[in-house]
């Protein structure tokens, strides 16, 4: 009986973590104003461009393609990526944390692996 209880508890924790993961839905792109303008390709140049899709994180000077995504216990999403910087050859590994904004649950905050906030983005229309 106890074993079954543990199995049910494990299942409930798994279901809860999947529900939390659904809270960060990257099926549609997120960006700041210039990032959303560029969601279908480079249309305008803007120093502050941020674009987040289910597959990549793009700024004016770099593009990072996701290689792994892990949902954390707090509902945030940690992504590992292969990044290319403008003007540099080759790729470098990167890691980002994506979480809901404390100020506005409809916005996402993107931070680098040191916890430095790179920007806040909204779902593109």
Do 57 and 75 touch, CB atoms closer than 8 A? no
The owner of tokens 């560029």 is 38
Nearest to 69 by CA among 7, 26, 12: 26
pLDDT of residue 62: 92
pLDDT of residue 110: 97
Average pLDDT per run of 10 along the chain, which is 125 residues long? 35 35 81 92 82 94 95 94 92 96 94 94 96
pLDDT of residue 104: 93
**Predicted TM-score (pTM) of this structure:** 0.77
* Extended strands (E) in the chain: 30-31, 50-52, 56-59, 62-71, 77-85, 92-100, 107-112, 117-123
Which two structure tokens, joined as six digits, stand for 18?
A: 């999947």
């Amino acid at each position: 009986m106890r074993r079954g209880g543990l199995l049910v508890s494990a299942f409930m924790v798994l279901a809860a973590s999947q529900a939390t993961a659904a809270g960060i839905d990257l099926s549609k792109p997120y960006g700041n104003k210039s990032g959303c303008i560029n969601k279908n390709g480079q249309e305008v140049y803007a120093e502050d461009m941020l674009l987040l899709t289910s597959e990549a994180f793009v700024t004016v000077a770099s593009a990072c393609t996701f290689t792994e995504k892990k949902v954390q216990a707090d509902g945030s999403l940690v992504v590992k990526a292969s990044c290319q910087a403008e003007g540099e050859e080759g790729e470098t590994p990167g890691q980002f944390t994506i979480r809901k904004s404390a100020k506005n649950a409809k916005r996402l905050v993107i931070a680098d692996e040191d916890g430095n906030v790179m920007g806040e983005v909204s779902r593109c229309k």
